[in-house]
Amino acid sequence: MTTRPLLGLVSLVIVATLAGCLPPRAAANKPPTPDAGTPQPSGTRNEEPAFSYEPSANSFEPPIEESFPTFAVTKPEIRDRSFDWDLQLWSAFDAYDGAATTTRLRAAARDILDRCMDQQRWFTAHTAYDPQYDEPMTMWRDAVDELCSGAADVERGIDRGDQPLVRKGRRAVAAARATMSSTEYLGAWGPLLIH
């Protein structure tokens, strides 16, 4: 009869001892961590490494600020001047085309010459423009020079009574006007007319 409690006590000690050798319950529910040398089956969570990006101090580069050249003579200034020039010439050309006497023809030629010389002075004072406008500016300058030369010949020819010189001047005026209304001339102005 005394052996039964003793057996129960021994059994309890054995169970307690064995329980102390086991890992805690939470650890028992965790899957075992594989050794580094043990291959893992594909498709497990451990397959994707954690990735975080932290830029180093040297990897930061400030944004590049582009600097564009500035020009004293702006595109709007050239464009506005060309519009003014055309408007001024309309009335002068109307008077020139409608001159019925040499006196009126001389006055109209003188008006054109004055406007041309004013434009030549503007060219001299306004050279600091973007080089990409060289083509239209050069064509404009050449047309103005030819117009000046033609108008001056008409005026001188009338003053001298030199009809060949008047005709030469009128041809130069006509050629300059044809140039300024040509497709090539107007096409060169495209970049300046776009806002």
> CB of 136 within 8 A of CB of 179?
no
CA angle 123, 128, 132 (to 5 degrees): 95
Mean pLDDT of the chain: 80
Query: What is the torsional sign of CA 129, 133, 136, 142?
Result: positive
- Domain membership of residue 142 (yes or no) is yes
- Domain membership of residue 141 (yes or no) is yes
- Domain membership of residue 69 (yes or no) is no
pLDDT > 70 in the chain, percent = 65
- Domain membership of residue 15 (yes or no) is no
- Residue that wins the pLDDT comparison between 153 and 15: 153
Confidence class for position 148, pLDDT limits 50, 70, 90: very high
- Domain membership of residue 66 (yes or no) is no
pLDDT at 9: 45
pLDDT digits (tens, 9 = 90+) for 97-130: 999 999 999 999 999 999 999 999 999 999 999 9
pLDDT digits (tens, 9 = 90+) for 50-77: 656 565 655 556 666 666 678 899 999 9
pLDDT > 90 in the chain, percent = 55
Burial-class residue 92 by CB neighbours within 10 Å (0-12, 13-18, 19+).
buried
* Total domains, the chain: 1
Does residue 151 carry a pLDDT above 60? yes
- Domain membership of residue 81 (yes or no) is yes
DSSP single-letter state for residue 173: H
Q: pTM to 2 decimals?
A: 0.64
- Domain membership of residue 79 (yes or no) is yes
Q: What residue numbers bound the domain in which 118 lies?
A: 75-124+132-193
- Domain membership of residue 21 (yes or no) is no
